[in-house]
Amino acid sequence: MKLPVYNNQGTKSGELDAADEVFAVAPNKTLVHQVYLALEANARQPWAHTKTKGEVRGGGRKPWKQKGTGRARHGSTRSPIWKGGGVTFGPRNDRNFVQKVNRKMNKKAVTMCLSDKVSSDTLMVVEQMPEDAKTKTFATLRSVMPGVGKTTLVLVAGKDEKLALATRNMQRVDMQRAEDVNVVDLLHHQFVIASKEAVQALEARFNK
């Protein structure tokens, strides 16, 4: 598999040989969808929480006597049918949304997403990432490459604090380590800009 390489002027300067096991994998939409939903579920936090009739305050005394009033019988104002009472089958903060994702499934899904980016010409490799921590420098590089204004994921190998500073204030641009990129990162961005070292890191991660 050949990946297009761009220079700092935004023109193709060559091609980079890449492993077919990572960048030329046949797609399986069902698998990618399953892994995506699992990752989104694992990131979900159960913030919504309601109290049951045993947790709400008050209602210890019987509202009125059982018989003789002509009204319906009630034992407590904490009942769910009363205003201010407990909630029946409401959301609870002890709910667990975690779904299991097998390593092989996750690995396969990521390689499928990378292969889809390659086949749609939305994955680009740059000769060299900007070395200074200036947003203007990287913005200039992004403006001369395809997909200007589209959501872009920048892939680097290891930790690059200078590039993180240069991209953190840019709209629709996010940076991620090649060692940590997942299906959600790739599906939430239309274009991917990777360094040559990031491509090697992806091959070392998935081509085992």
- What does the pLDDT look like over 60-115, one tens digit per residue? 889 999 999 999 999 999 999 999 999 999 999 999 999 999 999 999 999 999 99
- For 134-158, b where at least 16 C-beta lie within 10 A, e where not — what string? ebebbeebbeebebeeeebbbbbbe
| pLDDT for residue 93 | 93
Band of pLDDT at residue 203, cut at 50, 70 and 90: very high
| pLDDT for residue 188 | 96
| pLDDT for residue 186 | 96
- Closest listed residue to residue 202, CA positions, set 6, 4, 20, 14: 20
Q: Kindly give the pairing relationship between strand 173-177 and strand 123-126.
A: unpaired
| pLDDT for residue 130 | 84
For domain 2-44+100-206, is the CATH number 3.20.20.140?
A: no
- Global confidence as pTM: 0.83
Range(s) for CATH 3.40.1370.10 in the chain? 2-44+100-206
CA distance 65 to 63: 7
What phi, psi does 138 have (nearest 5°)?
-70, -35
